[in-house]
Structure 1
Amino acid sequence: MIRYHHPDKANDQMDRFETMRVFSRVVERRSFTRAAEDLGLPRSTVTDAVKALEARLGVRLLERTTRQVRPTPDGEAFHQRCLALIADLEDAEASVADAGLRGPLRADVHGTLWRHVVLPHLPAFLERHPGIELRVTEGDRLVDLVREGIDCVLRVGTPRDGRLIARRVALLDEVTVASPDYLSRHGRPRDLQALDGHMTIGFYSSATGGLLPLEFTRDGEVVEITLPARLTVDGAETLTEAARLGLGLIQVPRYHVASDIAAGRLVEVLENFPPTPTPVHLMHPEGRQPAPRVQAFTAWLAGLFRAEARR
């Protein structure tokens, strides 16, 4: 909770840091309401904090319209100084063993990968860091981390946004699979020429804005093949379920269908022509030092993927 009037000067100094956090979140979210939701505060508290800050500094920090809140030139300069001070404070707090890590942390993740690899281990992370309040959203789209108040992103594929710092944490083996029923009707292809007459389940990628072709490696070269598709989807879970129902060939990370292959619900084909591995990246905004709680979270995620790769 933010308090603004204390006879104790030390307490007042701490309140200034809290006010900086509030102001910075308003700038990033371009909204008093969204900033208040992120911080778990009443909107009136956030508004009063910024007004008190402007009054104390004697400058207008934000331009307010009915549609958006944006920083003035003075506000943007002050925001950059706030970020540096907040990062220094959080580093200092984290360096004290008894202080622990605390505060809100928002991650936007690739949902299927999150559920398979990360979620089973999440209780242990939250137990180790009881002060962290984690909010997870799922997507496979380009996100504006600063504007949307997101601390880090977990994505499958190659990053395309140069404003983000990307760290590769895994390479996922991909496989080509189909259901036994589909293969009984269309035959099991033994080479790429045998794909003539086969069908795929189309996968629409929001990252590329189009359908992904099937991809194979032959004699060290990557070959892309586009097959007819009577069904097109944009979700990994739907893609896999459609393959189980015999609607066509698909290519997905091996971890996603390992249990289906073991149980005979799906069959791996064209093993000698594997798709290229798919990278997994953790990303955070360029030019900003992640808070210690974000650093701890991303380091934990990277460790999970290293352990997964050794299995």
Structure 2
Amino acid sequence: MDSLGALNAFVQAAETRSFTLAGRQLGVSSSAVGKAIARLEARLGVRLFHRSTRTITLTPEGTLFLERCRRIFCEVEAAELELAQTQGAPRGRLRVSMPIVGMLMMPTLSAFMRAYPDIELDLDFTDRVVDVIEEGFDGVVRAGEVSDSRLMSRVLGTFRLMLVASPDYLRRKGTPRKPEDLLAHACLHHRFATNGKLEPWPLRKGRGELALPSAAVANTIEPLIYMAEQGLGITCLPDFAIRRQLAQGTLVEVLDGHTHHRGTFRMLWPSSRYLSPKLRVFVDFMAKHLFAT
């Protein structure tokens, strides 16, 4: 058990890049973490960390050892979870990274919390590309393709971007019949928070790219929904984010025949990690309910 504790101290220090932070997570002092790792290095006969006055970084040997330690703890976790699964409903803390647009998924997330009250959701909303393994997430929800061979994935559903406006705006300004008509309209744009670029509207290619006018720009979706409902212009939004507005008629689609888009949301998790009961029910629930019509 002392060896397992030393391995845990090493993993925590490697993931936080800090003896101090590792100590806080383990409830011990930074010096205790440092001594445990020093004893581990002495027993293994290799240096696991490069140390400086400000940071610690893994040596090549430390990097190899970290992956092996993670597998060990995954097996321990799997054994514990298999036993816990026989004791009742899934439980425990579930750390998930969601895109900022994930705020619009809150009805589904709230329904999950009601269905599984013993699971504590720890949600991190960001559009930056997180490292699922290095940052210790159980899973992430993201749009787009998967290129990381370390990750497993499951499709949660598909969506499409559509151009919408309020009926009041279209009565006042007219309904565009072709993409070029947008040049005479107030356009409400979404800016990617990660790179500062405007999200392109999915207009079918014809006479080249249109330099669409800009009445407003926002780096989250909710302000665009509000401004469009208030009759301030035309905007481009994912269909799942505006189901209620479309059903109630506060927003209507425009230029349907001139747009094309299909996106996919996926749940990703480390391929080396046992799919715990809490993660399994979360993935199943999201896949079943997130894009249910």
Give the TM-score, by structure 2 length: 0.80
Q: Does 1:229 align with 2:234?
A: no
Q: Partner residue of 1:123?
A: 113
Gap regions ≥5 residues in structure 1: 1-11
1:138 to partner: Cα distance: 0.5
Contact (CA 8 Å) 1:239, 1:250: kept in 2 or not? yes
Gap regions ≥5 residues in structure 2: none
Q: Partner residue of 1:107?
A: 96
- Change in Cα spacing, 1:241 to 1:272, as seen in structure 2 (3 Å) is same
Q: Partner residue of 2:129?
A: 142
Match for residue 170 of structure 1 among 157, 177, 181: 157
5 Å-filtered alignment, 1:258-277, equals 258-277=243-262
Q: Deviations over 1:34-93 (max 9, x none)?
A: 4455x4634535445434433544543222223321122332232122122122222222
C-alpha distance in 2 between matches for 1:36 and 1:225:
55
Q: Partner residue of 1:41?
A: 27
Contact (CA 8 Å) 1:118, 1:301: kept in 2 or not? no
Match for residue 98 of structure 1 among 86, 101, 115: 86
Specify the SS of the correspondent of 1:211.
Answer: coil
Deviates more, 1:191-200 or 1:231-240: 191-200
1:16 to partner: Cα distance: 3.2
1:235 to partner: Cα distance: 0.9
Contact (CA 8 Å) 1:156, 1:278: kept in 2 or not? yes
C-alpha distance in 1 between matches for 2:18 and 2:100:
27
C-alpha distance in 1 between matches for 2:116 and 2:242:
28
Q: Does 1:245 align with 2:230?
A: yes
- Change in Cα spacing, 1:201 to 1:33, as seen in structure 2 (3 Å) is farther
1:139 to partner: Cα distance: 0.6
Q: Deviations over 1:232-252 (max 9, x none)?
A: 211111222222233321121
| Matched residue count | 288
Match for residue 185 of structure 1 among 172, 175, 189: 172
C-alpha distance in 2 between matches for 1:85 and 1:147:
16
Contact (CA 8 Å) 2:92, 2:118: kept in 1 or not? no
The amino acid that maps onto 2:74 is: A
Contact (CA 8 Å) 2:160, 2:239: kept in 1 or not? yes
Q: Partner residue of 2:272?
A: 289
The amino acid that maps onto 2:102 is: L
- Change in Cα spacing, 1:250 to 1:42, as seen in structure 2 (3 Å) is farther
The amino acid that maps onto 2:101 is: T
C-alpha distance in 2 between matches for 1:175 and 1:88:
45
Contact (CA 8 Å) 2:188, 2:215: kept in 1 or not? yes
Contact (CA 8 Å) 1:178, 1:267: kept in 2 or not? yes
The amino acid that maps onto 2:269 is: H
Contact (CA 8 Å) 1:117, 1:305: kept in 2 or not? no
5 Å-filtered alignment, 1:34-113, equals 34-36=21-23, 39=25, 41-44=27-30, 46-96=33-83, 97-98=85-86, 104-113=93-102
1:203 to partner: Cα distance: 1.3
User: What percentage of residue pairs aligned between the two structures are identical?
Assistant: 31
